[in-house]
Structure 1
Amino acid sequence: MSAPRWLRTAGLVLAAFAGGAVTSQAVHARNQSSSPYDPFDQLSWVLVLVENHYVDPAQRNKIVEGAIKGMVAELDPHSAYMTPQEYTLFQSDTEGKFGGIGVEVDFRDERVIVLAPMEGSPAARGGVKAGDEIVAIEGKLVRGERLEKIIGLMRGPAGSRVRITLRRQGVSEAIQLDLAREEIHVASVVGKRLDSDIAYVKLRQFQAGTHEELLRVTAKLRAESSRPLRGVLLDMRNNPGGLVDEAEAVADEMLDTGVIYTTRHRGKVIDEAKASGGGALANLPIVTLVNEYSASSSELVAGALQDNRRASVIGSSTFGKGSVQTIFDLPGGAGMRLTTMRYYTPSGRSIQAQGIQPDVRVEASRPLQPGEVVRESDLDGHLPAEAGGGTANTNVARGPIVRATADDTGPARDVPTDPTKGSDFVLATGYKMLIERLGAAPR
């Protein structure tokens, strides 16, 4: 597919830079008249000044790359220019593989807690244990940082090394580890058959193949017993989103009819995704679990199930990323992630900077401190919400509010067959709600 015309034009501008230095006199002369190219003249002017007057010789490619990065980053928090190395890492991530140390983490009270090292991973071989707190990465303290930034610090090319500092209960001194990153493969869907024939399905992210993984996992759960499944506990907590087409396919499996989402570009409807019917889970009651780290495509799925009255949503207000990014290939192996659309729930509610409000809101067992939870609306330069023609989304709970117990540990790594006997309060609440809907006591 040919590059968009504007992209070819940008390539011509960069080619002009690469062709040789523009004299300051020539740039000054062009600046005397107004034209559509004035901004490029200004950029050329600055480039010449830097090359001629900076204290040390400047590398033109590095300067131009920085200018492009700044231009795209100025738009919103999710648009970005990616160098060839960054683009390669990004593509690997969407395929469910990346260079890392193989550790699953959670955010608790601004602390990064290890849920578990992946079996056979560098983290497991290096001695990382469940319950460890990651205090620093490459000497940088991480408490209070955004979770995605922390994960980004741990990732890198396979074969590169990363230093992490851990704090472990019962050990007085900090533990320092120097680990070599390896290619990590992550399953985006995990499942377990719970008591009362409930299917617990955890969607970690939406990557290439997530839809097929969902079908394999649910088929396996069905095959574990001669009794049919009676309901689905869908866990999308800490799901940062991912590929929209995979999220659409997942939602389609849970709907018989109805709209899944719509997208708009500059106020005009671009696409309206609809359920095709006959989904593998379309006839089962569903309860969906979300939290403040459920973002983007996971919010799309939660909104589709909520608006179509297919699922009750339990947890906390979601992150609020209601924008779609298009990926563009650039010359030289670089790439660009550009926000091109906003998406809306079936009823026309905007998710952007507002999130999905749960039907049952679960509040933390203690009051949260300002800045402890960061959502889209807290990010500098975030896109505003835009009316989609439906009911306005507000930050008010749609139903009852319950407070978690003091011993709540957040998302459980190991889910018990009877979640009411575990310490994951939201999971237990969702399980009990599903059981009540089925009109049966746990068995």
Structure 2
Amino acid sequence: MKNKKFITLGFASVTVALTILFSTNVFASSKESSAKKEATRLEALAKFTKVISIVEQYNVDDVTIEELMDKALEGMMSNLDAHSNYLKQKDFKNLKVQTNGEFGGLGITVGIKDGALTVIAPIEGTPADKAGLKSGDIILKINKKSTLSMTIDEAVAIMRGKVGEPINITIVREGEAKPIKIDIIRGIITIESVYAKTIGDDIQYIRVTSFDKKVVDDVAKAIRKKAASTKGIILDLRNNPGGLLDQAVGLVDLFVDGGDIVSQKGRKESDNEIYSAKSSNTLTKVPLVVLINGGSASASEIVSGALQDHKRGIIVGQNTFGKGSVQVILPITEDEAIKLTIARYYLPSGRTIQAVGVIPDIEVLPGEVKTRSNEFTLKEADLKKHLEEELEKVDGKEEIKEENKKDSKLIITQDMMNKDMQLKEAANILKALIITKG
């Protein structure tokens, strides 16, 4: 018994000794690693200071230490990724104006794609949209200034300006042999984010142009208004450059009654977050088709990707832009800040959007449905319609006709769909889903 006790205690003593030794080694190793890391950091900072000093002293042009630091910060931030950058006083001020006030601009969202300043999407009804800028256009010059080494914020600062002032944009467009010059007059950018129309008697068409703070409320209102007659919904996110994350999550939540919608993962655990659906927020379970294209980015990709992962709708159109990272503005002085990428978005299946985008279930290229007609054939229907309209004027029914015109703004006709191949295909798919109960 004594021997047994001795052996047991001896084993315990050895274990304790080994544990203490192991802990001491780990602590020493950790301390050594920390000291080595700090030494490396100091060496790097010393090298940086030395280079700054040499350039300040010997550069052919007289450059101040402030200018050198600004250039160093700009270079460092822009080399991290396409969306991180250093905001000098003017840039930071412009950003505040953009988020807090009214400004004159073109009405386009831009991003860096494959190293080039690219139009993500023109905002519907804005000067850029009316001038003919398209998603995927590469901006080569702004007012004769090359964009090849320009950051996104520098480009935005040049494009924004006084309302009524002209600006010239030179673009490169796929399929065009030469660069195209487009003159645009700056205007006040006001955005109506949600449009709701009907196709036939039982299909609701909801277009979301950007994710501002009213999107969820406006879409919910539109769904409730037509709930009794709606058998299917087309959600159009084409050329939607994104916006507020909470609105993207809220929009998915209207259609999905449970599970994750999107997760956000960064280097720090505090940056990680999971956004989930609640059954209490679900408004409808009717069949759904979502339209996307190369101008659908960020929040649009979260919505279409989450609905696709939940198998809640059929995604139709073209591959999206591929912008799935999270940026924050971190002030470093009262007048300056940095914009830094701190996390990436991941869809419910775990896949990332960044640089990949959302691939549609059914790819449909944009285009127009061409119909053949004989110009020399007398069209009795057209003639009859014309005569009926003239009779309505004589009978004093012009007021009713004006009312019908107002109603037509809420209806998508067959003729309209013939001019939009993607929308027409989406409607055909939705009709099939309605017949088979989705």
TM range (shorter): 0.5 to 0.7
Could you tell me how far apart the structure 2 residues matched to 1:99 and 1:84 are? 19
| Cα displacement (A) at 1:287 | 0.8
8 Å Cα contact 2:325/2:343 also seen in 1: yes
Query: Does the alignment pair 1:340 with 2:342?
Result: yes
Asked if structure 2 preserves the Cα contact closer than 8 Å seen for 1:116 and 1:131, the reply is: no
Letter paired with 2:190:
H
On the 8 A contact 2:261/2:348 being kept in 1, the answer is: yes
CA shift for structure 1 position 129: 5.4
More helix by share: 2
User: Distance in 2 between the 1:291 and 1:358 partners?
Assistant: 9
Which letter maps to 2:279? Answer: G
Query: What's the CA shift for 1:132?
Result: 8.3
* Matched residue, 1:264: 265
Deviation of residue 323 (structure 1)? 2.1
User: What is the Cα-based RMSD across aligned positions, in Å?
Assistant: 4.3
Aligned mate of 1:85, from 76, 87, 90: 90
Q: Where does residue 422 of structure 1 map in the other structure?
A: 418
Question: What is the match of residue 396 of structure 1?
Answer: none
User: Shift of residue 420 of structure 1?
Assistant: 6.6
Whether the 8 Å contact between 1:132 and 1:166 is mirrored in structure 2 is: no
Question: Which stretch of the first structure deviates more once superposed, 39-48 or 88-97?
Answer: 88-97
Counterpart selection for 1:432 from 423, 428, 431: 428
Partner of 1:245: 246
- What is the CA–CA distance in structure 2 between the aligned matches of 1:200 and 1:300, rounded to whole Å? 20
The alpha-carbon distance between structure 1 residues 349 and 92, as it changes in their structure 2 partners (threshold 3 A), is: same
* Structure 2 counterpart of 1:191: 196
Residue 286 of structure 1 and its aligned partner are, at CA, apart by 1.5
Question: Per the alignment, in what secondary structure is the counterpart of residue 300 of structure 1?
Answer: helix
- Aligned residue for 1:304? 306
From the superposition, tell whether residues 112 and 301 of structure 1 become closer, same or farther in structure 2 (CA, over 3 Å).
closer
Aligned to 2:276, which of 248, 259, 274? 274
In structure 2, how many angstroms separate the alpha carbons of the residues matched to 1:343 and 1:104?
Answer: 20
Shift, 1:429, TM fit: 1.0
1:156 maps to 2:152:
no
How far, CA to CA, are the matches of 2:324 and 2:227 in structure 1?
41
Shift of 1:360: 0.7
| Cross-structure match for 1:39 | 44
Aligned match of 1:378: none
How far 1:158 sits from its partner (Å)?
Answer: 3.7
Indicate conservation of the 8 Å contact 1:104/1:114, yes or no: yes
Q: Offset at 1:217?
A: 4.7
TM-score by length of 1: 0.64
Partner of 2:324: 322
Residues 431 and 199 from structure 1, CA distance in 2 versus in 1: closer, same or farther, beyond 3 angstroms?
A: same
Match of 2:211 in 1: 206
Is residue 235 from structure 1 mapped to residue 236 from structure 2 by the alignment?
A: yes
What is the letter of the counterpart of residue 344 of structure 1?
Y
Q: Matches of 2:159 and 2:259 in 1, distance apart? A: 39
Structure 1 residue 89: Cα displacement? 3.3
TM-aligned CA deviation for residue 165 of structure 1: 6.7
Letter in 1 for 2:68: I
Show CA shifts across 1:103-123 (max 9, x none).
899xxxx999989754xxxx5
- Aligned residues with identical type, % of pairs: 30
Paired position in structure 2 for 1:48: 53
Q: Residue deviations 1:323-350, cap 9 Å, x none? A: 2223322313323221222221112122
CA contact (8 A) 2:210 2:240 kept: yes
TM-score by length of 2: 0.64
| Alpha-carbon distance in structure 2 between the residues aligned to 1:36 and 1:175 | 49
Structure 2 gaps of 5+ residues are 1-37, 111-117, 172-179, 372-408
The match for 1:215 among 210, 217, 229 is: 217
Structure 1 residue corresponding to 2:72, chosen from 67, 81, 85: 67
Deviations 1:282-338 (A, max 9, x none): 423221111122222211111111111111111122222232223322313323221
Cα displacement string for residues 222-272 of structure 1 (whole angstroms, at most 9, x for unaligned residues): 54x694333221111222223322222222222211110122224979222
Letter in 2 for 1:262: S
- What is the DSSP-based 3-state SS (H/G/I as helix, E as strand, rest coil) of the residue aligned with 1:332? coil
In 2, the alpha carbon distance for the partners of 1:113 and 1:311 equals 23
Q: Aligned to 2:297, which of 276, 286, 295?
A: 295
Give the 3 Å change call, closer, same or farther, for CA 270–205 of structure 1 in structure 2: same
Looking at structure 2, the residues matched to 115 and 340 of structure 1 have their Cα atoms a distance apart, in angstroms, of 27
State the Cα deviation string for residues 30-73 of structure 1 (Å, max 9, x = none): xxx95422222222222222222222321332221121111111
Number of aligned pairs?
341
AA aligned to 2:167 is R
Counting only pairs closer than 5 Å after superposition, residues 344-383 of structure 1 correspond to structure 2 as: 344-363=346-365
